[in-house]
Amino acid sequence: MIEAGMLRAVYILSDGSHSISESMVAGTVAGELSFLSRTKRNTNVVAERDSVLWKMDVDAHERMGKELGWATARKFEETVLKIAVAETEVLMVSRALFSRVVQTLVH
């Protein structure tokens, strides 16, 4: 999670044919899907400004489960998934609005 600052993420499609970039600001959760699914990351990230980040890796998540209980670790997973769903919904709405604006300008 980004506590402060700004990052630039470049997502590379699995076939390598295209990439998408975005700026991420404070409050953004990043890398959650590859973390939860234990899959290879497809993103390169660089700091655009001085930043403060919070990191949860697989080993720390396992320690959380062992030390605080698996119910706590599952609650963490649930919270991260809810954030991912919310971010996906925002992205879908923004794409739909952009598409409508482009259609309006073209016609």
Q: pTM for the complete prediction?
A: 0.70
CA 37, CA 81: separation in Å to the nearest integer?
A: 11
Q: Is 8 in contact with 46 (CB distance < 8 Å)? A: yes
What would the pLDDT profile of 3-39 be if each residue is shown by its tens digit? 999 999 998 877 878 888 889 999 899 888 888 888 8
What would the pLDDT profile of 41-92 be if each residue is shown by its tens digit? 888 899 999 999 999 999 999 999 999 999 999 999 999 999 989 888 887 8
To the nearest 10°, report the CA torsion of 47, 99, 18, 36: 60
